[in-house]
Amino acid sequence: MWYGGGSFFRSVKVDRSWTIFLDRDGVINAHPQNHYVHNWSEFIFAEGAIEALKKLRSKVGRLVIVTNQQGVGKGLMSQKALDIIHNNLIDELRTHGVSIDKIYSCTSLKSISNNARKPSPRMGYRAANDFEDIQFNKSIMVGDQPTDIQFGKNLGTKTVLLKGGSHEIPLNCTPDKTYSSLLEFSETII
C-alpha cells in the first residue's frame, strides 16, 4: 500500500484500479545529451527504471507513457524513427516481464497553438478514451519537468516529481510528492 506524507497521500491505497502516467525522457530513460533520442541505439534506460516498472506493473492496472517529442516536428528525426524507438522500448520491457498499455506522444512544435503537448491534458484524454477504466482521480502522473506536473494537475491526477529535471516549479503546479528516482517512487507503492 502507498501511504505517504502530504494530504493527498495520507490515506491513499494504490491498487489494480489505479493508472500511472509516465513521462519518458528523464523518467524511463536517461536524459539524452543532445536533448533528443534520435534512434534506439541512443536510448539508455534510467538506472533502476526496469526494476521500478516491474514493481509498478505488479501493483497498478495501467501503465501509460505520455511524452512530448518535438524532435519530429523540428525535422531532427522521423515519425518512423520515433515509432521504432517506442516499439523497441515496449519489446525490451516485455522481455523483463513488463507490459506498457500504450505510448502517447505529441510531435508538434511548442510554437504551434492548440497542440496536444504537455501540459495540455489531451494525451490523457486520449488514454481515457482508449481505456474506459481509467479514472483520473485514481491516477498518478510521474515526471521530471513542470509540464509533467501541470499535465497531471490539468487532468486531476496525483502528481510525482522526480529530481533531476528542471525544478523551477510554478506555484500553481507544486507536485504532491517528490522522489529521487522512479525506483524510489515504486518502492513506496509496494
pLDDT confidence band for 163 (50 / 70 / 90): confident
CA atoms within 13 A on the CB side of 126: 18
- For residue range 9-63, what is the model confidence (pLDDT) as tens digits? 556 789 999 999 999 999 999 987 778 999 999 999 999 999 999 999 999 999 9
pTM to 2 decimal places: 0.92
Residue showing cell 491505497: 13
Grid cell at residue 184: 524510489
Indicate the angle between helix axes 49-59 and 182-189, nearest 10 degrees.
30
Q: Check: CB of residue 182 under 8 Å from CB of residue 27.
A: yes
pLDDT, averaged across the chain: 91
Q: Is the pLDDT of residue 8 over 70?
A: no
Domains of the chain: 19-189 (3.40.50.1000)
Indicate the angle between helix axes 122-130 and 146-155, nearest 10 degrees.
50
Instruction: State the catalytic residues.
Output: 23, 25
Residues in the chain: 190
